[in-house]
Amino acid sequence: MSNSFSTPTTPSSLGYSMPAEWARHHATWLSWPHNLETWPTDLEKVREIWIQMICALSPHELVYLLVNDASTEQEVTARLKAANAALANVRPLRIPTVDAWMRDYGPTFVRRNSHDAPLAFNDWIFNGWGGKYQAYEEDERVAREIATLLKVPVFNHKIILEGGSIEVNGAGTCLTTEQCLLNRNRNPQMRQQEIEQVLKNSLGVSQVIWLGDGIAGDDTDGHIDDIARFIDPRTAVCIIEANSKDANYRCLQENYERLRNAKDQSGGELELVTLPCPSPVYFENARLPASYANFYIANEVVLVPVFDDRNDKEALGILQELFPERKVIGLRCNEVVAGLGAIHCVTQQEPAVSLPRP
């Protein structure tokens, strides 16, 4: 099967849509962290979080782990074996990367109810988060290499977009932000209506809900996965800052009001649950984008970033109530978020399809 469509078709026109994150996964995709510019002082502590993630995920789904070379593969395999990971479900792949932000430069999977090509993915243009990090634009090629490996259809889009900027409920609604997708450092030639149409065509949604600005310290220009997330087709969680003097207070209040007034794909109101914010987290006097909303929903588990903060317990408790059939696991991400992202930013789900794949 060709791994690209040459005709001007869209995922939606062929019956594809992006499933919600809580839908059954075939696999989680990760890249092994190695970039000392991102984590100059605590790379080993960051790598330990990857080991913990893989140990939590591998009993329940495959984990594809991109590594730069054979020696890294051997080292990581030894670490995972020592940590009692389910190694039979861990698949190291030698695909070099600049950095570990798989959510943003990796594929965005879609699926359809068909025996013919049930799985495909969207390949967006990645420009280093609005041209801020030119060296990181090299990771634009990673999705293409994954396409060659998987031999699934790929929809190549002429829009600059990162996976962390979109959130779907699997029923026809997408959340995103104006600060990111309407930013002139992404697609200045496109109007809001045109961007909405791309989202509808590529994700199989009929409704797009626009929030405003993201949180302080977020160099991605307001990715949605630090602000608000769906946890079922009608319910979203959003973060709220209790301190009215905090830099995040006003924008998060505005986003909450937008969600409160929003309609889903059927014209219904959303159920809203609020999550607290941790106290501000800093690295070398710079505010970091620490958010409990950057969790990852996997088969049987939900991985949640925590920050040695008094609100960690409350956030974990709220999420455990929302996911009673999954084990909610807090992972200390103080060092990870120094790289300006956390758990959701470094993971990408591959949904299960009706037909098994090797």
- CATH code of the domain covering residue 224: 3.75.10.10
In a domain, 218, yes or no: yes
Residues 237 and 228: beta-carbon distance below 8 Å: yes
In a domain, 5, yes or no: no
In a domain, 249, yes or no: yes
**How confident is the model at residue 9, as a pLDDT?**
87
The span from the CA of 331 to the CA of 248, in Å, is 23
What's the half-sphere exposure (Cβ side, CA atoms, 13 Å) at 225?
27
In a domain, 176, yes or no: yes
In a domain, 318, yes or no: yes
The span from the CA of 286 to the CA of 288, in Å, is 6
Number of domains comprising the chain: 1
Which domain covers residue 102, as residue numbers? 12-351
Query: Residue 351 has what DSSP assignment?
Result: E
In a domain, 140, yes or no: yes
**How confident is the model at residue 255, as a pLDDT?**
98
Q: Which pLDDT tens digit goes with each residue over 253-298?
A: 999 999 999 999 999 999 999 999 999 999 999 999 999 999 999 9
Query: Residue 308 has what DSSP assignment?
Result: S
Let me know if 302 is exposed, middle or buried by CB neighbors in 10 A (0-12, 13-18, 19+).
buried
Cα 305 to chain centroid distance, Å, stands at: 13
3-state helix, strand, coil in the chain (%, to 5): 30, 25, 45
b/e burial code for range 110-147 (CB count within 10 A of at least 16 → b): bbbeeeebbbbbbbbbbbbbbeebeebbebbebbeebb
**How confident is the model at residue 229, as a pLDDT?**
98
Per-residue tens of pLDDT for the chain, all 358 residues? 344 444 468 999 999 999 999 999 999 999 999 999 999 999 999 999 999 999 999 999 999 999 999 999 999 999 999 999 999 999 999 999 999 999 999 999 999 999 999 999 999 999 999 999 999 999 999 999 999 999 999 999 999 999 999 999 999 999 999 999 999 999 999 999 999 999 999 999 999 999 999 999 999 999 999 999 999 999 999 999 999 999 999 999 999 999 999 999 999 999 999 999 999 999 999 999 999 999 999 999 999 999 999 999 999 999 999 999 999 999 999 999 999 999 999 999 999 997 545 4
User: Could you give the C-alpha distances from 255 to 28, 104, 161, 292, in angstroms and in order?
Assistant: 29, 22, 21, 16
In a domain, 100, yes or no: yes
Task: Give catalytic residues, as residue numbers.
Answer: 345
In a domain, 3, yes or no: no
